[in-house]
Amino acid sequence: MSTREVHVVGVPMDLGAGRRGVDMGPSALRLAQLERTLTSLGFAVADLGNVEVAVPESAARLGGGAGEPLYADAIAAACAAAAEALRDRPDGAFAIALGGDHSVSMGTVPGVAAGGELGVLWVDAHADVNTPETSPSGNVHGMPVAHLLGLGDARFTALWGDRPPLSPRDVVYVGLRSVDPPEREAIVRLGIAAYTMSDVDRRGIAAVATEALGRLSHAPRLHVSFDADVLDPTIAPGVGTPVPGGLTYREAHLLMEVLAESGRVVSLDLVEVNPILDVANRTAATLVELTASLLGKRIL
C-alpha cells in the first residue's frame, strides 16, 4: 500500500435485512478494538463516524411483493451518503466500511470505484444477485450485486448514473454455499467467477484465493466485501442468516493473508454482524482480527 492511513465510516443499516439488530454492527466492531488494532499495526486511523440511516419505524416500508424491494427509498438515501463519504477520503487512504447489512455495498463500492477501475471480491455464503423480481423476500441485502451490475430497481441503479460501477468480470465470489436457483442462473448467464465451499474443500483456500486474484488481474485496485456469514457459525454466531459449513478461522485468515500479499486491496466492507445474536461480541472480534491480517499483520 502507498499509505499508512485508514478511513473508517459506519453505515448502521438493517433496512435491507430480514431481522433487526445488524444496525448495531458498527458499534460492535468499534467495541472490538478496531481502531486500536489498526493503530498497533502502524496505521493512522480516522474514524468519520456513521452516515445517517433511517430506522425502520420511521421509514416507508412499502414493497415486499413481486418486484418491490422493501425500504428502497431509505436504503438508496443511505447508500448515497456512504458513497459520498468514501469518495471524499484523501487519495491513497485505505477505506473500511462498517455495516450494517450487505445492502450498504451499493454505496461503498461506487464510493471506492470513483477512484478508478475496481475489482470486487465478494466473500459471502450468499450470492446477493437476486433482483427485486427474483427475490423471495424483498429484502435488499440479497440484491446488491445485481444492482451494482446495473440490474434491478432504478432507485438503486440511478445512484451512479448511466454506467454501473461493476461489470460481471469485475466480481469474484469466494465462499458461496447458499444460492437461490435464480441466482445460480444469473451467475452462469453473466459469467461471474464463483468459488464455492466445495472448491475450498477440494482445492484449499490458498489456491482459491490465488486464482481469484488472477481472475481480477485487469483491476489494479481491489475491494473486499466481507460478509460475516461466510464464516462457519461455530466461530461467527452473530449473523442473521447463518449457514453451516463455512470458512474456518484459519481458512479465513489465510484468505486475508494472500490478499494482503497482492498489495492491491484498497478498501473493505465488514457487514452483517448482528450483536443481538452474538456471543460476547465474538463475531465482531473475529472480523477485526481478519482485518488486521488483510492489512499486513503477520505471524513472523
Query: To which H or E segment does residue 227 belong?
Result: strand 221-227
For residue 237, give every residue at least 6 positions away whose Cβ sits within 8 Å of its Cβ, in sequence order, or none. 277, 278, 279, 282, 283
Pairwise CA distance, residues 122 & 171, whole Å:
7
Active site residues: 102, 124, 126, 128, 141, 227, 229, 272
Contact call for residues 272 and 227 (beta carbons, < 8 A): yes
Q: At a CB cut-off of 8 Å and minimum separation 6, what does 254 contact? A: 205, 206, 209
Whose grid coordinates read 450487505?
Answer: 102
Q: Is 243 helix (H, G, I), strand (E, B) or coil?
A: coil
| Beta carbons of 237 and 283 less than 8 angstroms apart | yes
Report the alpha-carbon distance of residue 58 to residue 195 in Å, rounded.
39
**CA-CA distance, 270 to 252, in Å (whole number)?**
13
Measured between alpha carbons, how far apart are the two ends of the chain, in Å?
19
